[in-house]
Structure 1
Amino acid sequence: MLICFLTLVALIPTSSSINPGVKVRLTEKGLEYGRVLGMAALQQKLKSIKIPDFSGKTRVSPIGKVEYSFSNIQIVNVGLPQSSVTLVPGTGVGMRITNAVINLNGNWRVKFLRWIRKSGSFSLNVNGLTISTSTGIKSDAMGRPEVSSVNCAASVGSARVKFHGGDSWLYNLFSQSIDKALRKEMEKKICPLVSKAVSDLNPELKTLNVVAKVDKHAEIEYSLVSSPTISKPAIELNLKGEFYNIGNHQEPPFTAAAFSLPQQNNKMLYIGISAFTANSAAFVYNRAGLLTLYITDDMIPKSSPVRLSTRTFGVFIPEIAKRFPGLMMKLLVKAEKNPITTFEPNNMTIQATAAVTAYAIQPNGTLSPLFVLHLDTSVTANMVVSGMKLVGKVGLNKMSVTLGTSYVGQFQVRLLDNILQLLMKTVVIPIVNVQLAKGYPLPALGKMSLQNTQLQVLKDFMMIGTDVQFKI
């Protein structure tokens, strides 16, 4: 019951043939952590059981008919020494608790021989309590997980009552006659409590960031694209893992390729993020016009010997110095198509193609076009997990330049290689890294934090292996 490990899962059973952009696997280690959390929570829930006042009649030899009542029944101790959580392949999740112990105190009152009335306190020891339950999972109207108790069975091995006060030695003679009534009352109370404990998880599950806002331009959708795969060693979830423009969900002109997580189990949780997710981000930011940048001289470090002026560029292209002497320049860098991210073992690379248009800034502020270059660049990305976000940093790997259009006559493009590389390293890449350092939210639930995190870059995806901690 209290299958608290579901708070590690963030799952929504749905049906679709779409390949996931993100995969999540909960291992046996994670399941065990969930069991420990579940037992602590269940212990508190069991202590909250309210046993109503109840009364009855029984016949005890040689006294005859005895009328009894019990009131103010309080649970004072709960022991759950043995428990287990199991995955039923293709079905769901089950939990079993055995040899549980519950101790209660309360008040008693009896009437017998028509006129004798006595009262006092009692203690009740419930031993050999066994609880078996299974939990079902479905999606709510918003596409978030919703859990419910599918079935439950509870049995009490023994319920031994002992009376205190008055002639309690006499009343203990017929205590066995009411043990059965108390045992049945406990059994009736436990399964409704289990059902409520499971349903109490739903507010927590609704904290799942099915749609996680990245910034004012983009968000990531983490809904499931298929039902969870339940096997003996793990639960695996297939999440959409796709970036969208906020308020305008348009699918990119490419789809996610299938990928599989390796069979590792030394961490509680594994998260696989495919190239599709990264490429959908590039598509979104390009649509939002954010892969466009104006570079001006004030963006270049003051210590740089290269200035963005017709004097500097005139050294390599004399026609510029001749026709536009002593003017400052401006460069427009604009992506010509969506950057493409690829994952190879231990290597994440981004290929980007951009057009660079150079302008001379006239004294009246108008721009005179000088030339258009085409840049093919390759950058290497390093990603790390920080808190509940994936953050990155890129560095220039290589770059090639070709001439598109010249308004100042023909010139040797290779003469500008060093200047363009300097601008990439000192202006463009630092701006990109500022954005990457803001991070991108991982699928998360409630007060969840990641511990002992490791990140691997594999073929076609990166994988985060992590332990998980929840603040209860």
Structure 2
Amino acid sequence: MQLIFLFLMILPQTYADYPALKAVLSEKGLRDVSEMMGVWIQSKLKSTEIPEVRGGVDIGIGTVDYVISNMHIGQCSMSGPSLEFVKGSGVSVEVSQLSLAIKGHWTTRFGIIHDGGSLDLAVYNTKIKTILELQDDAGRLSINTIFCGDNVGGVHIQFHGGASFFFQPFVSHFSGQISKMIHMKEIPVNISMDQYVYLSVLLTSSPAVTNQSFELDMKGEFYSNSSPSEPPFFPSKFDFQFEENYMLSLAASEFLVNSAAYAYLSSEVLQININDSMIPKNLPFHLNTSQFGAFIPQLSTLYPNMEMEVLIYASETPLFSFNSGAIDVNVLAAGKFSVVKPDGKLVPLFRLDVDASFSGSAQIDQKHLTAAFKMKNLTLTLGSSEIGDFKTAKLKQMLIIAVNTFVLRKLNDYLKTGFLLPTLQSFNLINSKLLIKNGFVVICTDVDDSWIVSMKTKVPRPQPL
């Protein structure tokens, strides 16, 4: 129940662009959700607040007013529920053989006579069937009951205490029709990822329901918290075939990943200041004018034996592309070098521009998303200089060595461990696989049923009512 409502409740508005994020719940997923729903219902019924019932019974010589209150469910047994997709509409939900044992208190008033006691209420073999229609209601996702029917097999109330023997014949009814429209509350459509960016998950079209699946198309765009704006690129249309043998299939286009890069760039977090103290001592190069003087002769003459500092930043949005099993990344960056004077002030020296491309692969290992990257190409040019012109060929070779031996090695060591797959409330994603297609990636996954097992151990086995 939690899983399907999480799946449904994230999208209260529509948006006109192509979606960058798609989610498909398969028929297999719906069957598993049915089992989860049954366990969830039984686990939650005990904490359900049942409203008090007020009424009156004409006994010929007057009316007895009664109040039934403080009701709680002691036992519950049921078959199902079963869920099925209804093509073009939504979901059919059916619960059969629902039986409840309820305890509560009763009070009566007949003129000046007041009485009260306890009661046992049994509801037998109730069957409920409803069809939920998924709609786009003025830009908000809603669920409406287009059909609802119920059949109560039997209801029995036993009163205890007071003059219950007198009122028992007259107050032995408690059943009613269940017909209710369910409409989702408007909830935030922006998911905060961290202090810098958030993800927009607006609906781009009405939910698509077939006999085998339920699909949601989402905007899937990241924005900067500090300066939200549209990136200089647009989402492209993509379609994918969901995996019927998995509960859930999630597909994300290049646009989603690239919009995240643009959002972080707009938040000015794709930059770092590096000084010599941050460079490991065992590396053969360091940030000082003596060492850089071997590549830039005038540097050691103008600023002999002085420390240097460099600001490295992405000059444009890093762009990702997906190509049949491979992930390509193109990075345009720059490094502004300065010399550190004895008083700590920085004197600008020059700016180097870098155009680098990388290629990698990604996969799901157990419950972790792992990856590995290697360099494809790197060019280095002198962007500007306050100390005159100089050649960059030797600096380029040094940079390639630094990236391969330090940056990529550290990155791949981190990506080898990978990222733990997220959880949906109490549910863990299992049996997951990652597919890299042309222009998008797909994650196919099931949901861990250990939650169901643990909940079953907490729910007492229903006894005959």
**TM-score after normalising by structure 1:** 0.72
Structure 2 CA distance for aligned equivalents of residues 333 and 303 of structure 1: 22
User: What is aligned with 1:24?
Assistant: 23
1:330 aligns with 2:312: no
**CA separation of 1:11/1:139 partners in 2, compared to 1, >3 Å: closer, same or farther?**
farther
1:337-384: CA deviations, max 9, x gaps?
A: 211111112222210112233333344545455443321111345657
1:417-452: CA deviations, max 9, x gaps?
A: 232124435666689889999x99999864454333
User: What is aligned with 2:4?
Assistant: 5
User: What is aligned with 1:134?
Assistant: 131
Whether contact under 8 Å (1:71, 1:106) holds in the other structure is no
Query: Partner amino acid for 1:134?
Result: I
Spell out the pairing of 1:2-401 with structure 2 (5 A cutoff): 5-12=4-11, 14-43=13-42, 45=45, 78-101=76-99, 129-137=126-134, 147-156=143-152, 185-188=174-177, 191=178, 206=187, 210-380=189-359, 396-401=375-380
Whether contact under 8 Å (2:135, 2:207) holds in the other structure is no
Secondary structure of the residue aligned to 1:80 is: strand
User: What is aligned with 1:467?
Assistant: 446
Structure 1 CA distance for aligned equivalents of residues 55 and 339 of structure 2: 93
Q: State the 1:404 CA deviation.
A: 3.4
Residue identity (%): 27
**CA separation of 1:445/1:140 partners in 2, compared to 1, >3 Å: closer, same or farther?**
farther
1:60-101: CA deviations, max 9, x gaps?
A: xxxxxxx99999798765442354211122211111234555
Q: State the 1:216 CA deviation.
A: 2.0
Secondary structure of the residue aligned to 2:255 is: helix
Structure 2 CA distance for aligned equivalents of residues 313 and 25 of structure 1: 55
Structure 2 CA distance for aligned equivalents of residues 377 and 136 of structure 1: 51
Structure 1 CA distance for aligned equivalents of residues 24 and 75 of structure 2: 36
Q: Compare 260-269 and 74-83 and name the one that shifted more.
A: 74-83
Secondary structure of the residue aligned to 2:175 is: helix
Structure 2 CA distance for aligned equivalents of residues 159 and 309 of structure 1: 88
Structure 1 CA distance for aligned equivalents of residues 203 and 329 of structure 2: 27
Whether contact under 8 Å (1:12, 1:227) holds in the other structure is no
**CA separation of 1:446/1:263 partners in 2, compared to 1, >3 Å: closer, same or farther?**
closer
Structure 2 CA distance for aligned equivalents of residues 104 and 283 of structure 1: 57
User: What is aligned with 2:462?
Assistant: none
1:382-440: CA deviations, max 9, x gaps?
A: 65779999787755443122333455555442212232124435666689889999x99
Structure 2 CA distance for aligned equivalents of residues 153 and 353 of structure 1: 62
Structure 1 CA distance for aligned equivalents of residues 289 and 104 of structure 2: 94
- Taking only aligned residues, the RMSD between alpha carbons, in angstroms, comes to 5.0
Looking at secondary structure, tell me which structure has more helix per residue: 1
Spell out the pairing of 1:420-439 with structure 2 (5 A cutoff): 420-425=399-404
Query: Partner amino acid for 2:18?
Result: N
1:283-306: CA deviations, max 9, x gaps?
A: 122222222333322221100121
Whether contact under 8 Å (2:34, 2:80) holds in the other structure is no
**CA separation of 1:218/1:440 partners in 2, compared to 1, >3 Å: closer, same or farther?**
farther
Structure 2 CA distance for aligned equivalents of residues 395 and 100 of structure 1: 59
1:135-157: CA deviations, max 9, x gaps?
A: 2456799x875545443111245
**CA separation of 1:368/1:432 partners in 2, compared to 1, >3 Å: closer, same or farther?**
farther
Structure 2 CA distance for aligned equivalents of residues 96 and 3 of structure 1: 17
Structure 2 CA distance for aligned equivalents of residues 305 and 263 of structure 1: 51
User: What is aligned with 1:419?
Assistant: 398
Gaps of 5+ in 1: 59-66, 108-120, 165-174
User: What is aligned with 2:381?
Assistant: 402
Whether contact under 8 Å (2:227, 2:266) holds in the other structure is no
Structure 2 CA distance for aligned equivalents of residues 214 and 222 of structure 1: 12
Structure 1 CA distance for aligned equivalents of residues 297 and 445 of structure 2: 58
Query: Partner amino acid for 2:7?
Result: L
Larger Rg: 1
Secondary structure of the residue aligned to 1:252 is: coil
Whether contact under 8 Å (2:422, 2:428) holds in the other structure is no
Whether contact under 8 Å (2:24, 2:249) holds in the other structure is yes
Whether contact under 8 Å (2:13, 2:202) holds in the other structure is no
Structure 2 CA distance for aligned equivalents of residues 211 and 259 of structure 1: 23
**CA separation of 1:318/1:161 partners in 2, compared to 1, >3 Å: closer, same or farther?**
closer
Equivalenced residues, count:
434
User: What is aligned with 2:109?
Assistant: none
Structure 2 CA distance for aligned equivalents of residues 70 and 393 of structure 1: 72
Structure 2 CA distance for aligned equivalents of residues 375 and 157 of structure 1: 76
**TM-score after normalising by structure 2:** 0.73
Query: Partner amino acid for 1:133?
Result: T
Whether contact under 8 Å (1:295, 1:331) holds in the other structure is yes
1:231-277: CA deviations, max 9, x gaps?
A: 11111111221111114321112111111232312222122122111
Whether contact under 8 Å (2:12, 2:202) holds in the other structure is no
